[in-house]
A and B are shown apart, each in its own frame.
Chain A
Amino acid sequence: GQNIDQPTEMTATEGAIVQINCTYQTSGFNGLFWYQQHAGEAPTFLSYNVLDGLEEKGRFSSFLSRSKGYSYLLLKELQMKDSASYLCAVPTGTASKLTFGTGTRLQVTL
């Protein structure tokens, strides 16, 4: 099965860089997803990693190390609108099913 660990909460300052970590244990690995969820809204897809290394997408980047069971989401030039929960998720079995971490609630302050 999957065990996924993320910090519960983080605080960072507008304009800064923040790194949100995710560790996982899985019996079979097909990739790792990151989702963003604003309060009262649905999760929205941010990125996924299949291979080791860094995937960059504008202000957001995601890193994966399969040997270490570790990923992080890097947010640069933080904006107030980045205040949200960030969930990492790992596919199971057929890769259709996702198991989500409990999410990291990020608060961006002035």
Chain B
Amino acid sequence: DAGVIQSPRHEVTEMGQEVTLRCKPISGHNSLFWYRQTMMRGLELLIYFNNNVPIDDSGMPEDRFSAKMPNASFSTLKIQPSEPRDSAVYFCASSLAAVRLPTQYFGPGTRLTVL
């Protein structure tokens, strides 16, 4: 079974450039989560979707960040313009919201470096 798929696995870009991260959740899962992980702040939830609808985006740091989920099998996280402080590992996770205690399964992450 395919797990959560993320691309690219590594991204190096220059300050000011647009960055787009992609995620394909586990088939049949209806909740999708975007996290950012840094040494300083640990694992932070940025935004999550239920049935393709954004439910909570309170973790999105600022307007430079946006996320979309056009269908049940694809989501993007975009940073425009990128800044060096955005350097982090970005994880996507998915779960099945219908169960009592949904377990989240993480993708391999995208390691973003903004120079």
Contacts and interface: CB of A to CB of B under 8 A. Distances in A.
- A and B bound? yes
Interface of A: 30-31, 33, 41-45, 48, 50, 87, 91, 94-103
Contacts of A87: 43
Contact of B105 (A45, A97, A101): A45
B101 A91 contact: yes
Contacts of A31: 101
B42 A102 contact: yes
Contacts of B54: none
Interface of B: 31, 33, 42-43, 45, 48, 50, 55-56, 91, 95, 97, 100-109
B108 to A, nearest CB: 5
B101 A50 contact: yes
A99 B50 CA distance: 17
B108 A95 contact: no
Contacts of A41: 108-109
A30 B101 contact: yes
23 contacts: A33-B103, A41-B108, A42-B108, A42-B109, A45-B103, A45-B105, A48-B101, A48-B103, A50-B100, A50-B101, A87-B43, A94-B55, A94-B97, A95-B101, A96-B95, A97-B55, A97-B56, A98-B45, A98-B104, A99-B45, A100-B42, A101-B42, A103-B43
